[in-house]
Amino acid sequence: MKKYLLIGASAFILGAGSMAYVSQQAVAAAQPRAKTYKMLGLFGDVLDTVERQYVSDVDDTKLIQSAIDGMLTSLDPHSGYLDAENFDEMRDQTRGEYGGLGIEITSEDGVVKVISPMDGTPAANAGVKAGDYITAVNNESVLGLSVNDAVKQMRGKPGEAVTLTIAREKSDPFDVKIVREVIKPKSATARMDGEFGVLRIASFNEKTTDEAQAAFVELRAKNPKMKGLVLDLRNNPGGLLDQAVGVSDLFLEGGEIVSQRGRDPRDIERYNARAGDMTNGLPVVVVINSGTASAAEIVAGALQDRKRAEVVGLTSFGKGSVQTVIPLRGGMDGALKLTTARYYTPSGRSIQRTGIDPDLEVAATRDEAQTIANRSYQFSEASFRNALNADEGKKRIGAHEPAEAPPEAFDAKKDFQIARAEDVLRFGTVAATPKLPKPTARLAELLSKSKVAEVKPATPAVK
């Protein structure tokens, strides 16, 4: 009996202690919650004031949606609100067919910036480039617009023309007239270049893995003596995570491809390859550049870490975050696109902001090599002010000695980065591949120092 009572008393004391702890927690939690309620009241007051005193009538729905989008975009460049119309358009895009110009864009300090044009689309054919700023659509400024609103300005009926005003480094603003089309980008294509195959993957939509496998199988059947494969992921803006996993799986016999980790350190989801390499061990080299982003970086990182392929080109974009699309009321109220995790390559490295560094750095042109020497001209995830920090505290490589670039005698009609990738296949490894002399380019720091040295000291003023 005594034993029973002692147990009961102990349980009561433990329970009381727990209640006290919970009570303290509730008080602590109530304080920031009270502040939240106060700020929500402030929001209501501001909305009411705008409704009553703004110079013209306002649309409450549009104001509130803009407020929601502003809240989300303040978190990082890839979070945002999609209204019902934009949510439907996003689903069309991931299915691999939609109307528009064929460009991946983002917003940087209220300015619309091109991440990458998609292969074979009106924008790519018109010469739009990664890093371009779009300042106006049909002579109407898009400065200050959200990505969703800018997209609405550019999309329309197929066959109609739209004029984009482009601002580009080292160039005066200019107009580009583009005719809208129903965009049906073929995400994967393959061709032979001498004794090597080149598999080009331009984006990652719902069809990419199947298209990549079909393109390679057809190419291999026509060219059974193929000696190696170049996987071209340049200017690939990314897309669906499952398709990045699927494409990586095509080249791996098993093991980890990528993991994603959320706020809770225990919240880790791993994606592994199944047995079966579609190339049967054929040598592979991956080509990337600063326009290689997101899902494309997952593929490059997986094949590099698993020693399945070496990487040639330039450091990739550095988008190492995962966005989850959360429908609201089944999509009737649109959806939230929210950053919920970082992803990690098989070796456990986060490439957020830093990107995938190539095993052999190769610039496409001599001008691009000079750009590498000047940090101010580089466009990447790290250039966004509110970009999610790299989890490991690493920093993206800055201005440095320029990469290999086409020699003076190189045929300008050929693709130098693909040519160097094929050299790696030919010699077996990057280490065994003869290196070319680096072009004569000056680092940005040296240029700035020389300018300072050229300024003659002023004559001291007589006081």
Task: Tell me how crowded residue 26 is: count the other CB atoms within 10 A of its CB.
Answer: 10
Nearest to 220 by CA among 248, 191, 246, 194: 191
- Which residues have a Cβ under 8 Å from the Cβ of 251 and sit 6 or more positions away? 231, 277, 278, 279, 284, 303, 308, 309
DSSP structure string for 32-46: HHHHHHHHHHHHHHH
Task: Tell me how crowded residue 122 is: count the other CB atoms within 10 A of its CB.
Answer: 23
Given the residues 132, 319, 350, 423, select the one marked as catalytic.
Answer: 319
Given the residues 76, 119, 249, 305, select the one marked as catalytic.
Answer: 305
Task: Give just the sign of the alpha carbon dihedral 83, 331, 80, 65.
Answer: positive
| Tokens coding 97 | 């067919």
Q: Is 319 a catalytic residue?
A: yes
Nearest to 318 by CA among 237, 375, 428: 237
Given the residues 79, 146, 203, 294, select the one marked as catalytic.
Answer: 294
Cα 299 from Cα 247, distance rounded (Å) = 7
Phi then psi for residue 228, to 5 deg, are: 180, 170
Cα 109 from Cα 73, distance rounded (Å) = 11
**Strand, coil or helix: 131:** coil
Q: Where are the beta strands (DSSP E) in 262-370?
A: 268-273, 284-288, 309-313, 321-327, 335-344, 360-361
DSSP 410: S
Burial of 290 (0-12, 13-18, 19+ CB in 10 A): buried
Confirm if 351 and 306 have CB atoms less than 8 A apart: no
| Tokens coding 287 | 């080509």
| Tokens coding 426 | 């030919």
Which residues are tagged catalytic? 294, 305, 319
